[in-house]
Structure 1
Amino acid sequence: MPSTSIRRFEYNPDTRVLSVWFVASGRQYDFLDVPPETFADFKTAFAKGRYFNDRIRNHFAFRPVAQAPTPAAHVGADRAKRPDGSHACRVAGRTPDRS
C-alpha cells in the first residue's frame, strides 16, 4: 500500500543506513545503524508511516541530507567573478559543497 507520508526509502545493508524521503517536505533523512531486521519489517509493513513513527523515529540517530539546488534556485542569484574570470553562483543561505 502506498504511504501518504513516506515517498520513498532505500536501505544500504553494508552501512546499515536507511534513507527516507518524506512526502510533505520532500526532504531526505538518513537513519543510522538500522538493523536489517528493522528494515525488513519496515519494508513489509502495511502502514509504513505508522511503522516509521513507532519503530524508527526517535529510535535511531539520523542526519538530514542536503539537497542539491534546483535550477530554479539559481534564477536571480548573485554571480561572483573569480580571479580566473569564471563565475561562481552564490545563492542566499547556501554554501557550496566542498567535497
Structure 2
Amino acid sequence: MPSSVVNNYIYFPETEILRIIYQSGAVYDYLKIPAEIFEKFRSVRSKGRFLNYAIKPKFKYKKI
C-alpha cells in the first residue's frame, strides 16, 4: 500500500542513515538508525505513523 506521507526511502547500513523522501519532495536523513529499527520501519503498514512514534522523537535528523 503506498504511503500518503513517504514517497520513497533508502537505508545506508554502513552509516546507519535512513533517508526519507516525502510526498512533498522534502528529503530528510535520520541519523544512527539501527538496522533492527529500519527492518521494523520497512515492514510496517503505516510508514508515516512509525516515523512519528518510533523515529522522529528518538533520533536526530537533518533536512537535505
Does TM-score exceed 0.5, indicating one fold? yes
Q: Secondary structure at the match of 1:53?
A: helix
Higher helix fraction (1 or 2): 2
Q: Which residue of 2 aligns with 1:34?
A: 33
Q: Structure 1 stretches of 5 or more lacking a match?
A: 66-99
Q: Structure 2 stretches of 5 or more lacking a match?
A: none
The one-character-per-residue Cα deviations of 1:19-50 (angstroms, maximum 9, x if unpaired) are 00111x31100000000000000000011111
**How many pairs does the alignment contain?**
64
- Percent identity, aligned pairs only, is 34
Taking structure 2 as the reference length, the TM-score comes to 0.95
Q: Aligned Cα RMSD in Å?
A: 0.7
Structure 2: distance between partners of 1:55 and 1:2: 19
Structure 2: distance between partners of 1:28 and 1:55: 18
| Runs of 4 or more above 3 Å deviation | none
Question: Bigger relative contact order, structure 1 or 2, given CA contacts below 8 A and separation 6+?
Answer: 2
